[in-house]
Structure 1
Amino acid sequence: MPVEFIGMIGTHDVSETRAARGPLVDPAYTLRFARAHEDGGFDRVLIGYGSSTPDGTQVAAHVAAHTERLGLLVAHRPGFVAPTLAARTFATLDQFSGGRVAVHIISGGRDAEQRRDGDYLDKEDRYARTDEYLDVLKRAWTEREPFSHEGRFYRFADFHSEVRPNQQPRIPLYFGGSSEAAYRVGGKHADTFALWGEPLAETAAQIAAIRDAAAAAGRTEPPGISVSFRPIIAPTEELAWERAHRVLDTIRSEGPKGSFTAPRHEREALGSARPGSTGDADGQPENIGSRRLLAAAAKGELHDRALWTATAAATGAAGNSTALVGTPETVAQALLDYVDIGVTTLLIRGYDPLDDAIDYGRHLLPLVRQELAHRARTSTAPTSVSDHTPDMPSAPVVAGRGA
C-alpha cells in the first residue's frame, strides 16, 4: 500500500528552538525549503495558516511556479471568505500548478485566534459552518449548471464558475481536528483526516471513531488517515537521544522561539508562557487535540517504539509537537507501526526545519518506502526495516543541528 509523505514549509527560518532569521517573507528561503522537500521525495508540503502570517495561497503559487512535481497542501479556515470565492481561488491555483493543490480544512481551535480575523462564532457553530461551507465548496467544483443555496451561514443565487480544478472530479480535502464535532464533519467530507501524533492505542481509537462517523454520514469508503510527528534522528540511538534532550532543554530554558504560523510577538499562541497559558479556566488548552497530547504526556514521556511526548508537554502541546526519537531505522519502523493500524499519510517536520527535511529525504523516507515495497512484492507480514536497508547516501545525519 503506498503511503503519502507530507512535509511543512514556511516563508522564513524559524522553529520552537530557532529564533526567526531574515524577513518574514523570504522568497529565496521559501524556495530552498520547498525544493529540499521535492528533492527528498516528499509528496506534498503543508502551508500553514495564521491570523498574522503570509497568505497560504500566495505562498503556494510562488512555490508552484518554481517546482515541478511537489504537491501543495494549503491550510484554509472556512468563514473568512465566501465558499464560492474559495472554490474559484483554489481551482485557479490548481490549474496553474498542473493539478498539485490540496486544501487542509481547519475550523479553528482557539477563540482568540479566530477573533483576530473577526470570527466570533463558538466552536460548535464553527463546525456547523464548516459543514455547510464544504457542501458548497464541493458543489462549486463539480456542478456544471448554475445553482443557488440558502443555508444557515451562506446564501447566494445562480452561482456558476467557469474555472474548474485541474484534478477531477475535484481538489482533495484534508481535515484536522480531534473533537466529536470534528469527527462528524470530517468523517462526512474529508478525503484524508489529519491527527496529531498520539500513542498507537489512542490513535487506533481515533481512527475507529472517524470511520464510524464516515459510515454514519453514508460513506462506503472511509477517509484516509494522516498522523503528524517531529522526528529527531541521528546515526545512533545515543546521539539521537542526546539531540532530543538538547531540543527539550532549549524549549524549557528559553520557551518556544516561534513557528511558521505565529511570529514571536504572538508567543502566547504557542503556549510559551507554559502549558495551560492559552487555555480555559481549568488551565487546559481550548482545542481537544492539544488536550489529548498533554494527556498522553502525563502518562509518560516514552510510548510504544519511539514516541516521545516531552516536547509536547514543554510547549503546552501547541500544535504538532510529539517526537519520534532514534536512528533512521528505529523511526522508520515506528512510522510503519502507524501504517499497520491504518494510517495512510505521514506528516513529518523537524525542529531544525530545512536541514531536517533534507535528512528525512536522505535517510528516513527511503527506509519506509523500501519496507512497503518489500511487503508489496512478497505479500509477507511486516518485517524490520534493518533487514533490507536500501543503499543510502554517504552524507551522515548531523546530530544536534539548531538544537
Structure 2
Amino acid sequence: MVEFIGMIRTADQSEIRERRGPLVDRDYTRRFAQAHERAGFDRVLIGYHSWDADGFAVAADAAAHTERLGYLIAHRPGFVAPTVWARKIATLDQFTAGRIAVHIISGASDAEQRRDGDHTDKVTRYRRTDEYLDVVKRTWTAREPFDHDGEFYSIRGALSHVLPHTQPRVPIYFGGSSADAYRVGGRHADVYALWGEPLKETAEQIAAVRAAGVEAGRDPDSIGISVSFRPILAPTDEEAWDRARSILATIEAGQAPVPNGVPYVGGTSVGSRRQLEAADRGEVHDRALWTATARATGAAGNSTALVGSPETVAAALADYVDIGVTTILIRGYEPLEDVEVYGEELLPRVRAEVARRRAVGV
C-alpha cells in the first residue's frame, strides 16, 4: 500500500502566508501533528534549515502528543558525530516505540552549509555522507565494540548499548538528484526521495536510482521511491485552477516575507534545476502537474503542484504509483487547513484508486 508523508513546522507560515505567532509555537505544532494523525498520514517530515527549529526536539515533543504518527527527521551529516547521532536516534526511537525514521540530505547549498560552519564542497559532502551512514548503521547493529578508519572519521571501540526499537535499524530516506546522490543513496536508502517532476522524467530517475542500487549489490526492488507535491484542491477542476492562480499571484506579489530574514535557497541543486527545466518545457504536464509555483519560488524545495478536484489529483498520484512510486509526500500552501482536506478528500481516494488499478491489473 502507498505510504503518505506530510510535513510539519513550528509556525503557521507558508509561501502565501505571513507567520502567525512565534517561530516556535508549541500549541500550533502539536495541533499540526495531531491533524496529520487524524487525516491518516503515516509519517510527517520535519525539515532542516540553518535558521529553523531543531527537528530532533520538534519530533520529540510532537510524538509525545500523538499515538500512531511516525516522524521523519531530516538530518545533514557533518555537524554531529555519527556514533553520537546514532545513539540519539535510537533513544528517541525507543521512547516513541518505533515511530522514527531519518531523511538524509548532504546539503545542496554551499551557503546554507557555511551558516553552520561547514565549508566542504558538495562532492566532498556526499563522500562524507556515505562514510557517515556506514558508521551510523554499524552503531545501530553492532553487538561488539568496533573500530572505524575512514577519510572523515576515526573511531575506536564504539558500542552503543541503546539500540533502535525498529530492528535491525530505523528506516533511512535519502534525497538528491545528482549522480553522487544516486550512488550514495543507492547504497543506503530504504526510500529514495524525489521532487515532483513529469511522469517520464520521474520514471528515468527511478531507473537511475535502482541501477545505482544494483551497482551497490542490492535488490533494486528493495529501494522504495518517494515523490513530493503541493496539491491544490477544490470541488471542481475549474475551481481548483482558480485557487491555483490566486496562490501563484500571492507568491509573485511577495506578500509572505522570508522566514527570519533568511531567504530560501532555490535553483542551486540538481533537483531544483530539474524542476525549473520542467517549467521551461511547459506550465502543465501530464494529468495535473503544474510547474508555475516552482518557477515563482526558484524551485526552493518541493514546489511543483498538482491541481484539480480530489478525483483528478488522486488519479494523478495513482499514475506515479503505477511507475514505481511507493511513498507520496504532500503539503499545502494553507498548511493546517489543507491537511484536513487531504485527510477527508484525497488520501482515501488515492488508496481506493491504487487498489482498484491493482485489482484490474492496470
What's the TM-score bracket when you normalise by the shorter of the two chains? over 0.9
The aligned residue for residue 356 of structure 2 is 374
Q: What is the CA distance between 1:295 and its match in structure 2? A: 0.2
Is the 8 Å Cα contact of residues 314 and 353 (structure 2) preserved in structure 1? no
Q: Which amino acid aligns with 2:280?
A: A
With structure 1 as the length reference, what TM-score do the two structures score? 0.88
The aligned residue for residue 257 of structure 1 is 257
Q: Distance in 1 between matches of 2:7 and 2:106?
A: 19
Q: Distance in 1 between matches of 2:298 and 2:231?
A: 18
Q: What is the CA distance between 1:369 and its match in structure 2? A: 1.0
The aligned residue for residue 233 of structure 1 is 233
From the superposition, tell whether residues 230 and 70 of structure 1 become closer, same or farther in structure 2 (CA, over 3 Å): same
Is the 8 Å Cα contact of residues 15 and 257 (structure 1) preserved in structure 2? no
Q: Which amino acid aligns with 2:28?
A: Y
Map 1:66-85 → 2, pairs under 5 A:
66-85=65-84
DSSP-derived class of the 1:324 partner = strand
The aligned residue for residue 393 of structure 1 is none
Map 1:194-209 → 2, pairs under 5 A:
194-209=193-208
The aligned residue for residue 346 of structure 1 is 328
Q: 1:360 aligns with which of 338, 342, 352?
A: 342
Q: 1:266 aligns with which of 232, 238, 262?
A: 262
Q: Which amino acid aligns with 2:308?
A: G
Is the 8 Å Cα contact of residues 3 and 346 (structure 1) preserved in structure 2? yes
Q: Distance in 1 between matches of 2:355 and 2:111?
A: 46
Q: Distance in 2 between matches of 1:359 and 1:286?
A: 33
- Size of the aligned set, in residue pairs, is 361
Q: Which amino acid aligns with 2:361?
A: A
The aligned residue for residue 303 of structure 1 is 285
Q: Distance in 1 between matches of 2:280 and 2:156?
A: 52
Q: What is the CA distance between 1:56 and its match in structure 2? A: 0.5
With structure 2 as the length reference, what TM-score do the two structures score? 0.98
For structure 2, the 5+ residue unaligned runs are none
The aligned residue for residue 135 of structure 2 is 136
Q: What is the CA deviation profile of residues 54-113 of structure 1, one whole-angstrom value per residue up to 9, with x for unaligned ones?
A: 110100000111100000000000000000001000000000001000000000000010
1:33 aligns with 2:32: yes
Is the 8 Å Cα contact of residues 176 and 182 (structure 1) preserved in structure 2? yes
The aligned residue for residue 287 of structure 1 is 269
Q: What is the CA distance between 1:256 and its match in structure 2? A: 5.3
Kindly report structure 1 stretches of 4+ aligned residues shifted beyond 4 Å: none
The aligned residue for residue 53 of structure 1 is 52
1:98 aligns with 2:94: no
Is the 8 Å Cα contact of residues 172 and 191 (structure 1) preserved in structure 2? yes
The aligned residue for residue 174 of structure 2 is 175
Q: Distance in 1 between matches of 2:268 and 2:341?
A: 34
Is the 8 Å Cα contact of residues 200 and 338 (structure 1) preserved in structure 2? yes
Q: What is the CA distance between 1:156 and its match in structure 2? A: 1.1
Is the 8 Å Cα contact of residues 293 and 305 (structure 2) preserved in structure 1? yes
Q: Which amino acid aligns with 2:19?
A: A
For structure 1, the 5+ residue unaligned runs are 272-284, 383-403
Q: What is the CA distance between 1:255 and its match in structure 2? A: 5.9
The aligned residue for residue 23 of structure 1 is 22
Q: What is the CA deviation profile of residues 333-382 of structure 1, one whole-angstrom value per residue up to 9, with x for unaligned ones?
A: 00000000000000000000000011000000000111233345xx3133
Q: What is the CA distance between 1:52 and its match in structure 2? A: 1.5
Q: Distance in 2 between matches of 1:69 and 1:360?
A: 18
Q: Which amino acid aligns with 1:64?
A: A
Q: Distance in 2 between matches of 1:170 and 1:140?
A: 10
Q: What is the CA deviation profile of residues 214-251 of structure 1, one whole-angstrom value per residue up to 9, with x for unaligned ones?
A: 00001024410000000000001111000000000001
1:335 aligns with 2:317: yes
DSSP-derived class of the 1:317 partner = coil
Is the 8 Å Cα contact of residues 141 and 164 (structure 1) preserved in structure 2? yes
DSSP-derived class of the 1:57 partner = helix
From the superposition, tell whether residues 254 and 47 of structure 1 become closer, same or farther in structure 2 (CA, over 3 Å): same
Q: Distance in 1 between matches of 2:241 and 2:361?
A: 30
Q: Which amino acid aligns with 1:124?
A: V
Q: What is the CA distance between 1:264 and its match in structure 2? A: 4.1
Q: Which amino acid aligns with 2:230?
A: R
RMSD: 1.0
From the superposition, tell whether residues 150 and 191 of structure 1 become closer, same or farther in structure 2 (CA, over 3 Å): same
Is the 8 Å Cα contact of residues 17 and 255 (structure 2) preserved in structure 1? no
> 42-51 vs 220-229, which deviates more?
220-229
Q: Distance in 2 between matches of 1:151 and 1:243?
A: 52
Is the 8 Å Cα contact of residues 255 and 315 (structure 1) preserved in structure 2? no
Is the 8 Å Cα contact of residues 94 and 165 (structure 1) preserved in structure 2? yes
DSSP-derived class of the 1:79 partner = coil
Is the 8 Å Cα contact of residues 39 and 339 (structure 2) preserved in structure 1? yes
From the superposition, tell whether residues 217 and 81 of structure 1 become closer, same or farther in structure 2 (CA, over 3 Å): same
Q: Distance in 1 between matches of 2:220 and 2:301?
A: 28
Q: Distance in 1 between matches of 2:170 and 2:255?
A: 38
The aligned residue for residue 246 of structure 1 is 246
From the superposition, tell whether residues 130 and 184 of structure 1 become closer, same or farther in structure 2 (CA, over 3 Å): same
Q: Distance in 2 between matches of 1:351 and 1:215?
A: 38
Is the 8 Å Cα contact of residues 240 and 327 (structure 1) preserved in structure 2? yes
Q: Distance in 2 between matches of 1:199 and 1:322?
A: 10
DSSP-derived class of the 1:137 partner = helix
Q: Distance in 1 between matches of 2:89 and 2:265?
A: 29
